[in-house]
Amino acid sequence: MSGWLSVGMVTVPLLGALLLLVAADALRPVLRVYGMAVSGVTLGLAVVMVATFDYGQAARPQFTVDVAWIPGLDLRFQLGVDGISLPLVALTALLTFLCFAYLGWGDGAGPGQLLRPRAGGARPRALVFTLLVLEVGMIGTFLALDLLLFFVFFEIVLVPMYFLIAIWGGERRRAAAIKFILYTLLGSVVMLLGLLLIWAQAGTLDIVALAQSHGAGMSRAVQVVAFVAVGLGLAVKTPMWPLHTWLPDAHTEAPTVGSVLLAGVLLKMGTYGFARIAIPVLPEGAAAVAPWLGALAVVGIVYGALACLAQRDLKRMIAYSSVGHMGFVLLGFATLTPTGINGALFANIAHGLITGLLFFLAGAIKDRYHTADIPSLGGGMLATLPRLGAVLTFAAIASLGLPGLAGFWGEMLALFGAFQPAESLPRGLFLTFMVIGGLGAVLTAAYFLVMLSRVTHGAPAAAGGAAPVGVPGPGAAGEGVVGRLSATLPEAPDERPVHALPGAAGPPGMADIRRHELVAWVPLIGLILLFGLWPGLLLSLTTPAVQILLGALP
């Protein structure tokens, strides 16, 4: 079949990056358009792929390529997509394109547009190059059908992301970048050992063949060891509690596009590995480790939510919320049921869209207020920047899992899977996980609503210092009495002093949503609504693949 499409998805950004090295001077004036063009072509290929995908056979790899790569080691260059990887490939192409659109749309002078023509030290050409290499690695990871090829792409991603954080990041970018790369490299080494163990025992690196043999030829002990090793590497990337501490630092310091791609795509590579390699190739290992995986997952859900509740920094809060959301994904995998894994894959995509949007918004807020410290933002955003406040409300509500938006279905199915886990798993334990996960969902709602209240509600004058504090808000005369009586929720969970805004720039003069932001956000909003209102779109794609993948489970 037409394997050129798979190859093209990887080679187009790669060639685009190489061309930047070769024809640097020619491309320098048109960098902003160039990035959009290359990632746009890749997105176009992804759209062709989505359009021509044979949905009747979603369980079978399509657009496959299989050529000898390193014959001496019997390594093969195998690419292909099935119902599990197709949404992720499309999501990656879309998010990368949106990042380039965000950076380059319009005159390029808006807040957050790092490619602006003359910004001292912004190094626009290097940024485009880095992002394109990043795209190669991300798409390759989701396309690879060979264990070592998967690992190679998995590792390629680390380097550009390291530079993205270390060069274009915030004040403490160096430490965050080093932490990121050392932590994830350490995880990758452990994963490589696991992959090599699989290779040694099963004698092949072909993921499809390995998945079809369902762990034949590997004893239970070997499977458990391999699952733990591979799982650890993937869990660092996901990230799973307690291996998550690189994430808040990396997110806080990364530039907006870095945060978006980190949350939207990189975290998915970890969870994708569970669905593609760990569970189908090592079914007995998965069954043995699943209760532990589930336990760590629900701890992550509650722990992430609690950490968010007390968090002051908006970007850190969203980073911790990723820990919680990824907990739902891991819980879905741990159930080892089609429902649970469907839910995990759905939550994966939904998280990419919603958290991508949230990081775009956090970046936009930070660019305007020059801080992401929630108390320092001063509240009242719905009055000062009504559109930005409205989109933030939308994204927060989507993220807390409201039915009708994308965030709900994945978490619901993960919990439903935990209600009736695979027969080899202890049901009582997973019922406990389900209950804890459900309470985590309430806590998730709690921290998002508290954040909205502190950022978007309230009288905006209190922050800028233009009006005396304590002016009763509108509505106070008629209905405010009730409001005062209802003050049973304590104010802010943090009593540290609020720092004044640097330069007292304040709300006046800040622009509401700009065009380049609108271009980047509207597709995400649309997809969140689409998948929320019609979850069948994704579920019909993943279900057949998941059922094949679980074929061997006891």
Partner 1 sequence: MTNFPLLTVLLPFAAAAAGLLLSRRGRAEGANTRAAWIAVIPTAGAAVLAVWLAWGQGFAFLEGGPRPAPVGATYGTVVTGSVPISLTLQADDLSALLGVLVTLVALAVQVYSIGYLRDDPRYPSYSAFVSLFTAAMLLVVYAGDLLVLYVGWEIMGLCSYLLIGHWWEDLGNSRAAIKAFLVTRLGDVGFLFGIFVLGIGAGSFRIADVLAAVPQMSSGTLVAATLLLLAGVAGKSAQVPLHTWLPDAMAGPTPISALIHAATMVAAGIFIVARLFPAFTAAGPTMDVLAVMAALGMLGAALAALAQDDLKRVLAYSTVSQLAYMAGGLAAGSDTAAIFHLVTHGAFKALLFLCAGLVIHHVGANLMSQMGGLRRDLPVTFAATTVGFAALMGLPPSSGFFSKDALLVAMEGALAGGLTDAAALLLYGCALATVAVTGAYATRAWLRTFFGPPRTVALPEPEPGTAHVIDTREGPRTMLVPVALLAVPALLLGFAAEPHLDLPVAVVSVALALLGAGVVYVAWRADPLADPARLLGVLRVPCERAFYVDGLYSAVVVRPVLALARGVLRTDDVVVDGAVRGSGRAARGLSGLLRLAQNGNVQLYLSGLLAGVLLIAVGAVVFA
Minimum gap (Å) between residue 252 Cβ and partner 1: 13
Binding residue for partner 1 (CB under 8 A) from 105, 129, 180, 246?
246
Q: State the Cα angle at 306 between 402 and 369, rounded to 5°.
A: 80
Binding residue for partner 1 (CB under 8 A) from 133, 413, 463, 501?
413
Buried b (16+ CB within 10 A) or exposed e, 317-353: bbbbbbbbbbbbbbbbbbbbbbbbbbbbbbbbbbbbb
Tokens 């629900």 appear where? 298
Q: What is the CA radius of gyration of the chain?
A: 23
> Which range binds partner 1 by CB under 8 A, 95-103, 256-264, 283-291, 333-341?
333-341
Amino acid at 537: L
**Is residue 271 within the footprint of partner 1 (CB under 8 A)?**
no
Closer of 169 and 544 to partner 1 (Cβ):
544
- Could you say which residues in the range 179-238 bind partner 1, by CB under 8 A? 179, 182-183
Residues near partner 1 (CB under 8 A), total: 83
Binding residue for partner 1 (CB under 8 A) from 39, 78, 271, 337?
337
Minimum gap (Å) between residue 104 Cβ and partner 1: 27
User: What is the phi-psi region of residue 379: left when phi exceeds 0, alpha when psi lies from -120 to 50, beta otherwise?
Assistant: left
Q: What are the structure tokens assigned to 202, written together?
A: 């099963």
3-class SS letters over 302-353: HHHHHHHHCCCEHHHHHHHHHHHHHHHHHHHHHCCCHHHHHHHHHHHHHHHH
- Could you say which residues in the range 120-179 bind partner 1, by CB under 8 A? 179
Helix (H, G, I), strand (E, B) or coil at 403: coil
Helix (H, G, I), strand (E, B) or coil at 527: helix
Binding residue for partner 1 (CB under 8 A) from 22, 120, 469, 479?
479
Minimum gap (Å) between residue 262 Cβ and partner 1: 18
Minimum gap (Å) between residue 311 Cβ and partner 1: 7
**Is residue 443 within the footprint of partner 1 (CB under 8 A)?**
yes
List beta partners, residue 62.
81
| Nearest residue to 235 (alpha-carbon basis) of 354, 135, 329 | 329
Closer of 37 and 402 to partner 1 (Cβ):
402
- Could you say which residues in the range 518-537 bind partner 1, by CB under 8 A? 535-536
> Which range binds partner 1 by CB under 8 A, 83-91, 121-129, 309-317, 498-506?
309-317
> Which range binds partner 1 by CB under 8 A, 81-89, 99-107, 135-143, 538-546?
538-546
Minimum gap (Å) between residue 181 Cβ and partner 1: 12
Minimum gap (Å) between residue 438 Cβ and partner 1: 4
| Nearest residue to 244 (alpha-carbon basis) of 185, 184, 191 | 184
> Which range binds partner 1 by CB under 8 A, 85-93, 117-125, 414-422, 513-521?
414-422
Work out the widest C-alpha separation in the chain, in whole angstroms. 82
Minimum gap (Å) between residue 339 Cβ and partner 1: 4
Minimum gap (Å) between residue 139 Cβ and partner 1: 27
Q: Which residues contact 439 (CB under 8 A, 6 or more apart)?
A: 302
Binding residue for partner 1 (CB under 8 A) from 19, 126, 459, 552?
459
- Could you say which residues in the range 11-40 bind partner 1, by CB under 8 A? none
List beta partners, residue 146.
206
Cα–Cα distance measured from residue 188 to residue 33, given in angstroms and rounded to the nearest whole number: 35
Minimum gap (Å) between residue 309 Cβ and partner 1: 4
**Is residue 416 within the footprint of partner 1 (CB under 8 A)?**
yes
**Cα distances (Å, whole numbers) of residue 322 to 126, 354, 417:** 28, 10, 21
**Cα distances (Å, whole numbers) of residue 336 to 18, 341, 344, 419, 547:** 42, 7, 10, 12, 10
**Is residue 51 within the footprint of partner 1 (CB under 8 A)?**
no
Minimum gap (Å) between residue 58 Cβ and partner 1: 11
Binding residue for partner 1 (CB under 8 A) from 18, 214, 419, 424?
419
**Is residue 472 within the footprint of partner 1 (CB under 8 A)?**
yes
| Nearest residue to 266 (alpha-carbon basis) of 324, 315, 211, 326 | 326
Tokens 């405010």 appear where? 480
> Which range binds partner 1 by CB under 8 A, 145-153, 196-204, 251-259, 334-342?
334-342
**Is residue 380 within the footprint of partner 1 (CB under 8 A)?**
yes
**Is residue 547 within the footprint of partner 1 (CB under 8 A)?**
yes
